[in-house]
Amino acid sequence: MQIINSIMHMQALAIAPERGGRRISFVPTMGFLHEGHASLLREGRTRGDVLVLSLFVNPIQFGQHEDLDRYPRDMDRDCRIAEACGVDIVFIPTAAEMYPAGFQTGVTVRDISLPLCGSSRPGHFDGVATVVAKLFNIVRPDVALFGCKDYQQLAVIRRMTADLNLPVEIVGMPIVRESDGLAMSSRNAYLSPCERQSALCLSRALVKARELFGAGERSVPELLLATRGVIEQESRAVIDYVEFRDGFLLSEQQVADGNTVLALAVKIGQTRLIDNCVLGEEL
Ligand code: PAF
């Protein structure tokens, strides 16, 4: 496994004649890998000849008062996991090289970036779209894999890739959960044992909504009431948003269908967690 820090080196390998017809599959991450990332890497391994993982905590997708400085990092452990998953190249650029003095270009995906996390974290998806566009230009992947836990992020990246005619196939992979239902996330590392227990209210809320939907409930106001109720029973939980939206356009809905996504963002102590499910799909 090769570790590459320089953008020019990574790009040179990706466009070198020696690449021949070899397909590059790419898993962009901010590191502190967990089983969710490992599932992307294992799938990526089957979809390409060369598997590239990027580890980059992207400063421009964090707001001023967010957790950029304390975002968990462990490069050595990440590299061991990468090796075990069959990664060929780990690309670890520096922020100074990604955003040198004078940098002033950004990618904005308009409407679907605005609700949900876009409303709580203004500018977040501009940061995500910009870094992913840059990484695509550097790594030149044929296929890139992202987790569905960041549902809106995946929608934004799909839109950007289509709108800018980027020649990359985007693959969304199912959410990986702990045995008790908590969706895997690097931010789970912030939770104290008590908070870890409280965080289960997110997956409990998803189960409740799916049960009601399965029993025939289609009224979004009714589904919302029941879902919020589950989270509000947990004293440590502070709701950022609970929303039922069209799974493709992320537009508001009053009547749910099988493509409706239930998206949650809830603060447990200082830690903001997100989760989601599509009502017509298995959890
Ligand atoms: O999901 C993430 O880890 C990040 O948002 C991404 C896509 C790697 C961009 O920094």
Q: Is residue 178 part of a domain?
A: no
Q: Is residue 100 part of a domain?
A: yes
Query: Are residue 106 and residue 27 in the same domain, yes or no?
Result: yes
CATH of the domain at 56: 3.40.50.620
Ligand 1, atom 8: closest residue by C-alpha: 29
Which residue among 173, 201, 225 closes a domain?
173
Q: Is residue 181 part of a domain?
A: no
Q: pLDDT tens, 203-260?
A: 999 999 999 999 999 999 999 999 999 999 999 999 999 999 999 999 999 999 999 9
Ligand 1, atom 5: closest residue by C-alpha: 128
Q: How far is the CA of 56 from the centre of ligand 1 (A)?
A: 8
Ligand 1, atom 3: closest residue by C-alpha: 29
pLDDT score of 218: 98
pLDDT score of 19: 87
Query: Are residue 239 and residue 265 in the same domain, yes or no?
Result: yes
Q: Is residue 199 part of a domain?
A: yes
Q: How far is the CA of 218 from the centre of ligand 1 (A)?
A: 33
For 274, phi then psi, to 5°, come to: -120, 155
Q: Is residue 262 part of a domain?
A: yes
Residues 6+ apart with CB under 8 A from 91: 4, 5, 10, 52, 53, 54, 55, 56, 135, 138, 139
Q: Is residue 281 part of a domain?
A: no
pLDDT score of 282: 78
Query: Are residue 52 and residue 167 in the same domain, yes or no?
Result: yes
111-124 exposure pattern, b = at least 16 Cβ within 10 A, e = fewer: ebbebbbbeebebb
Closest atom of ligand 1 relative to the 147 alpha carbon: 1
Tally of residues, the chain: 283
Q: How many domains does the chain fold into?
A: 2
d(CA 79, CA 83): 6
Asked about 37 being catalytic, the answer comes back as yes
- Domain of residue 121 covers 2-173
For the chain, 283 residues long, give each residue's pLDDT as a single digit of tens: 999 999 999 999 999 888 888 999 999 999 999 999 999 999 999 999 999 999 999 999 999 999 999 999 999 999 999 999 999 999 999 999 999 999 999 999 999 999 999 999 999 999 999 999 999 999 999 999 999 999 999 999 999 999 999 999 999 999 999 999 999 999 999 999 999 999 999 999 999 999 999 999 999 999 999 999 999 999 999 999 999 999 999 999 999 999 999 999 999 999 999 999 999 997 7
